[in-house]
Structure 1
């Protein structure tokens, strides 16, 4: 038995030695290469998993307009709850709001009269936000609501902690005059303590009837002052995306046309937006993160917006092509909103929202994943002709895949989506090797490893995706844009997993798939260097680019290599054709790997699988390194100028 154990130990070391002894070599000719498109790497936002409502958009109140229960009254006001019992307060809904597109308001009949007769803490309504409001000590929050009453009002507006502690409170009183017509009220609350599971309460002890509508609570400190949650917005910005595709996805289509995203309902003053039920992902959104906000966020992070609009098709119904004209006009109006003069009809609305200059909208997608639908081609051609006539500079994305056969209709780009298990994703790194080099360019607008391999975001998924991205980078003469999907998931509403960024009310972390994208932030606009991989392994994929560092303005070479195997691998890269020398110091090595391919990050261990940066000693044009199993490694070499 002992001799058998010694034999197995010897065999293990012999196997590792043999694997490590085989060297894969990347031969790089730095004198030859071609430019990677400036727009190569980007980000995609869809309202899924409460990515916007209860996520990126900073609004703390859920169902702020009481519209989520539907237009028929009485209706539910979920997740609002009543503070007090039925002997002291009656709460219902009616259609008395002052907003034409948001007619539902909440009616509160206070039956008790004065602090002596009302329950302790008064009576009213309470909102828990999206699985708890994050209220932080010394931070300020602006609460806005609309109110009318049968007389004067005396309201306490408060943030209440999970232990029923008052975190902040202001009194709004109009004893000098009645509020018999709708009035806007505003109050800034400063928190005296922190609670990540707080709620907003509006309470009173004054007997009588009052109505409330469009209740909002927003932190004053948001990303660039534009209403977005700072940590989530910064995580997107840190990817340095060159484009930002929004607002979907299936969210744009809707399960049925009546629930499709319509851009005109998502612009203008927030209190005037009707909101809608996203029936594909099964939740109500007030559309606070609307068309304008998507354009503004794109600008804020230095990305080109890519607008996806509805083309008269949903998952379950289609508008006949002879009836598509109103939808075409809606798209043209949307382009005018983004690009038109501040004196134009829709451009003036944009200007009134604080952006008089046009947005830099250059690319639009006509629908999403609808190529196989019977009305798609007919509708698409109508949209294409109308847009090219009015805006000949706009580039248009078709839903139909042209990687295997040519399109039968004109387009500037074609959409390509791929969701698969890890082994298949790894194998797809060559999928565009034989794609046509003429005609429209590819936009890989959704890719991810999912299902069993992916869990909630595993190392294995990220390594497979890294190989796929290297393949796209090497085929960037055909593939001009790529982005991962989905971007966000609120951990309380996992409609789709995995995702790049996971969050709750106050925390966030990146999955391994998020972190690997950081290794491609320099690819856009870089030079793909000619390279040839000499290997006997089926698990090695590699590329080399030359880029200019945005900080020091120096040129660098980045060599990226994936080892998708379970054994370590020797790897050599050899560079010829350089006009200058590689600096022996100042080079870095970045590795993403882990002890187990199913490792995931979490709120308790957000940095379990993240890039590990080390100095690369004695860097040169010819180097040998050992690659860890299931890893992506990046080498950044600086040049002597």
Structure 2
């Protein structure tokens, strides 16, 4: 993800329509003879970055914000309605690292309760707390009684009017830190609830790691991930999961970069870090945006495994975000950064007798994660990046020669940075070069031929971040309209046609909280209770679930279908199911007839058709209704031909078995 502005990106819908008045039939030829080009299993994947409250407040199901009082303002997210009587003991709390607490978790609240009536701490959650009637919630807290007779810590969910909708309590005992757990069940559905913590008795008590998770998480893992959001990822049938970003890898400064070793081990001891997107954009400042790393590298690897995706971790190359400070690690001091990469591979793949392999096993996964690739830097550019990439490449190839390395061509899809990066990486015989593009619908349609003339013997392409922008890059007015998704569908036929060059692709960003976003558009939108799929999501899902295994030739008058009459097309064979899969995109405002002549093989008499369409280019989905969603039906074939009509503004997939 990047922060920069592209002007003149907007365009009129008239340019998209084409206004074709002719009703002539589009004639296509599909040759079932294999082209020799394989569709990589990693072709369509997922890019995850903690932007738009994607992790804390999103995928990571923790409901309590600033649960361990580690934000830069230690009580951010917490309120003390009776603050004159309920105080924080700063002497033993926030100023210093306490001996009883490990270095990653420095702070705790020391609370003096003078009366057992009316004293409370209120946590606001992540733009509120989503509470579901009938659902159970796991409550936990670290506590240590210091003096007095505090006999209970009480927990209550409150609705927007302050009514109690769930409650439970724990009974703390002793001066030593101990974890206490309880459960409570909600009696009402609440969109923006809060947590109230009160105390029975008088005295001084220390508390930390005040935590609440729904029991109904993905795979019912305690302290796990939000079920509906992971399900949407699973349904994409992704070939890979790239994590943790994005510019979040780089940080505004090197000190604020993402360091994977601080995100593994005991969750309670992981060190909180400010999120680099918290005040990046003037249109949406979020100073309460931090990373607790409950969703850390172990959890990312586990998630990739859960959804059947190859893990693709990306690490800092020793350059902070060049749109911010561009701070550099001197080459002579790069060794710790390189060692982080080598240690990460050991963490993912090493035997349990190794240092980092043992940690993975201790965390519950003795078997290797089978890591096959790693990213060096995000979207850095220029000689400074190439110099550092060379150091990483040499070290990784020496110790792990089978690991593929993802390099970068900078933040733009063309220009001086891009050309320099490609020239250098081609000379270095890089494995993959990551390209990013955020641009107008018109740009995406015109660039369906982008990879037609790429060097077939050069590095492979990872289209690591792309999305159509309706206004400008990083504009808060960008929309997830059908126009954007349709243009992406057209562009992706070009990715598929060039599968001998393009090995990996992913839309970005992935998630956005309806009340906590910084960047639009995004693939999946959610609030505290619900989530919905955008038209763009359905385009990605249809490609991911219809990827096939081998590229086939589909032409019109001997040429690829790349916008003639507003039509785009590609075709693949799925050897596993013995099916031909044809993708057709009509970007015009008229329904168009077509005849597809099939050479070499006979077709089954019937096939399955999936149609994604809307007559309104500005149509969007929302929490109440998904107006743009795929619909399936059956169609008849002519054994060696398919003849039909494709609606205006539509993306159609045909699947038919070879007879």
Question: TM-score w.r.t. structure 2 length?
Answer: 0.87
RMSD between superposed Cα atoms in Å: 2.2
* Cα offset, 1:538, TM superposition: 4.6
Q: Secondary structure at the match of 1:268?
A: coil
Q: How does 1:123-142 map to 2 (within 5 A)?
A: 123-142=119-138
Q: Which residue of 2 aligns with 1:415?
A: 434
Cα distance change, pair 634–181 in 1 and its aligned pair in 2 (3 A): same
Aligned to 1:384: 393
Judge conservation of contact 2:464–2:505 (CA < 8 Å) in 1.
yes
Compare CA radii of gyration and give the structure with the larger one.
1
Aligned counterpart for 1:309 among listed residues 312, 315, 332: 315
State the Cα deviation string for residues 129-148 of structure 1 (Å, max 9, x = none).
Answer: 11122222332221121112
- 1:510-529 mapped onto 2 (5 Å cutoff): 510-524=533-547, 526-529=549-552
Unaligned runs of 5+ in 2: 1-16, 280-288, 410-417
Residue 84 of structure 2 corresponds to which residue in structure 1? 86
Deviation digits for residues 475-503 of structure 1, max 9, x if unmatched?
00000111111111111122111111000
* SS of equivalent residue, structure 1 residue 332: helix
Distance 1:50 1:272, change over 3 A: same
Question: Equivalent residues in 2 for 1:106-185 (5 A)?
Answer: 106-112=109-115, 114=116, 118-119=117-118, 123-151=119-147, 152-153=149-150, 154-174=152-172, 177=173, 179-185=174-180
- Structure 1 Cα separation of the partners of residues 499 and 48 of structure 2: 23
DSSP-derived class of the 1:150 partner: strand
1:214 aligns with 2:214: no
Secondary structure of 1:202's aligned partner: strand
Deviation at 1:20, TM superposition (A): 4.7
Give yes or no for contact 1:387–1:394 (8 Å, CA) kept in 2: yes
Counterpart CA distance in 2 for 1:284 and 1:613 is 42
Cα pair 2:86 2:111 within 8 Å, conserved: no
- The TM-score, its normalising length taken from structure 1, stands at 0.90
Could you say which residue in structure 1 is the equivalent of 2:375?
Answer: 365
Q: Cα offset for 1:467?
A: 1.1
1:204 maps to 2:199: yes
Instruction: Specify the SS of the correspondent of 1:53.
Output: coil
1:101 corresponds in structure 2 to 104
1:181 shift after superposition: 2.3
Tell me how far 1:205 sits from its aligned partner: 3.8
Match among 542, 566, 571 for residue 569 of structure 2: 542
- Residues 378-433 of structure 1: CA deviation (Å, up to 9, x unaligned): 21111111111111111001112579746232421111111100000111110000
| Stretch moving more, 376-385 or 615-624 | 615-624
Assess, with a 3 A threshold, how the Cα gap between structure 1 residues 367 and 288 changes in structure 2: closer, same or farther.
same
Flag structure 1 segments of 5+ consecutive residues without an equivalent: 1-14, 70-74
1:305-341 CA-to-partner distances (Å, cap 9, x unmatched) read 0110111111121111111011111111111111111
User: Any conservation in 1 of the 2:603–2:637 contact (CA below 8 Å)?
Assistant: no
Give secondary structure in 1 for the equivalent of 2:426.
coil
Name the CA shift for 1:414/1:89 in 2 (closer, same or farther; >3 Å). Answer: closer
- Worse-superposed segment, 630-639 or 399-408: 399-408
Are positions 1:425 and 2:420 aligned together?
no
Partner of 2:364: 354
Taking a change above 3 Å as real, the CA distance of residues 378 and 616 of structure 1, as seen in their structure-2 partners, is same
- Offset at 1:466? 0.6
After the TM superposition, which residues 150-299 of structure 1 pair with which residues of structure 2 at under 5 Å, given as runs?
Answer: 150-151=146-147, 152-153=149-150, 154-174=152-172, 177=173, 179-226=174-221, 227-282=224-279, 283-299=289-305
Q: More deviation in 362-371 or 631-640?
A: 631-640
Alignment of 1:314-353 (within 5 A): 314-315=320-321, 316=325, 317-353=327-363
- Once residues 406 and 181 of structure 2 are traced to their aligned partners in structure 1, the CA distance between those partners, rounded to angstroms, is 44
Match of 2:603 in 1: 582
Equivalent pair of 1:65/1:215 in contact (CA under 8 Å): yes
Note closer, same or farther for the CA distance 1:411–1:16 as it changes in structure 2 (3 Å cut).
closer
For 2:126 and 2:18, how far apart are their aligned partners in 1?
A: 51
- The structure-2 alpha-carbon separation of the partners of 1:387 and 1:90, relative to structure 1 and needing over 3 Å to count, comes to closer
Task: Rate the CA distance shift 1:256–1:619 in 2: closer, same or farther, 3 A.
Answer: farther
Aligned to 1:22: 24
Distance 1:307 1:42, change over 3 A: same
Q: In 2 relative to 1, CA 631–20 (structure 1 residues): closer, same or farther, beyond 3 Å?
A: farther
**Structure 1 stretch 261-270 or stretch 156-165: which is displaced more?**
156-165
CA distance 1:559–1:388, change in 2 (3 Å) = same
**Structure 2 residue 617 is matched with structure 1 residue 603:** no
Alpha-carbon shift at residue 91 of structure 1 (Å):
7.0
Please report how far the alpha carbon of residue 524 of structure 1 lies from its aligned counterpart in structure 2 after TM superposition. Answer: 4.1
Q: Which stretch of structure 1 is more off in the superposition, 498-507 or 533-542?
A: 533-542
Give the conservation status (yes or no) of the 8 Å contact 1:320–1:375. Answer: no
Is 2:85–2:113's contact at 8 Å kept on the other side of the alignment? no
Decide which moves more: 271-280 or 451-460.
451-460
1:328–1:17 CA distance, 2 compared to 1 (3 A): closer
CA contact (8 A) 2:20 2:588 kept: no
The SS at the match of 1:38 is coil
> Is 2:593 the counterpart of 1:570?
yes
User: How far is 1:554 from its partner?
Assistant: 3.4
Alpha-carbon distance in 1 for matches of 2:18, 2:46: 39
Deviation at residue 57 of structure 1 after TM alignment: 1.0
Residue aligned with 1:134, SS: strand
1:194 CA drift (Å): 2.4
* Change in CA separation of 1:88 and 1:228 when aligned onto 2, cut-off 3 Å: closer
Q: Does 1:59 align with 2:78?
A: no
Q: Shift of residue 76 of structure 1?
A: 4.0
- 1:109 is displaced (CA, Å) by 1.7
Kept in 1, the 8 Å contact 2:146–2:206? The answer is no
SS at match of 1:483: strand
